[in-house]
Amino acid sequence: MESVDFLKVMTYEMMNRRDTITKHHAGKVGSRESLHNYIKNGVRPDDLNLGFAFYTKFYRTERHACVQSPIGCSTLLMEDPRTGVDMEHTGAFAWADDVPAEMQASFYKALREGQYDNIGGGYYYWDADQDIWWSHETPSSIEDKFGLVRELGLGGVFAWELGADGPEYSRLAALNAAVGGSRRKKDEL
């Protein structure tokens, strides 16, 4: 890497409107795989920064397709494969935003009843009433995902985007705590 000092690896948006099955948009396993792709292609781990998402995403699923297993189940077609037009079956909003009226009931259920997937390393909720898959990072999932910094010897972290986490800034606080807890004590005279 002769031209840049570091790379910010966007380890979020790993599920998007071109996908056809549910998965974590910012999960730990997908993040590890992304980082390993850079490392195996010659990028030093300490030149890589791990990304975090300070917003939530949702995707519409096939009617009751997720009953058996919400992870890996079919979504509605989210992008026209011929034209690339958004089919309006997915979306995102910041924690600082007002929750769209038509999403409020489902979103608040996702906050109350969501869970962490210990296998894929991501927080999610599938709303069986409205067939909506929710995927976002929480303070505890941020703490877990931050473990990749130590595990792989990464150079740092970043988030998209600071203002989106307001007004509570709980994700920023979790990330700051993780960064602060990972610093080595300096012996300065």
Strands, DSSP E only, in the chain? Answer: 7-9, 48-53, 55-60, 90-94, 115-117, 122-127, 132-136, 156-160
What pLDDT was estimated at residue 78? 97
| Residue 188 included in any domain | no
What pLDDT was estimated at residue 187? 46
| Residue 189 included in any domain | no
| Residue 187 included in any domain | no
What pLDDT was estimated at residue 184? 53
- pLDDT of 181 over the 80 cut: no
Q: 21: burial class by Cβ within 10 Å (0-12, 13-18, 19+)? A: middle
Using the structure block, give the residue that is written with the tokens 């792989």. Answer: 152
Q: d(Cα 141, Cα 53) in Å, to the nearest integer?
A: 11
For residue range 103-155, list pLDDT tens digits in order.
999 999 999 999 999 999 999 999 999 999 999 999 999 999 999 999 999 99
SS3 of 148, please?
A: helix
| Residue 149 included in any domain | yes
What pLDDT was estimated at residue 1? 75
Contact 162, 81 (CB under 8 A): no
Could you list the residue range(s) of the whole structural domain that residue 41 is in?
A: 7-182
What pLDDT was estimated at residue 64? 83
Number of structural domains the chain divides into: 1
| pTM for this predicted structure | 0.91
Q: d(Cα 103, Cα 189) in Å, to the nearest integer?
A: 56
Q: How confident is the model at residue 183 (pLDDT cuts 50, 70, 90)?
A: low
What pLDDT was estimated at residue 186? 47
| Residue 63 included in any domain | yes
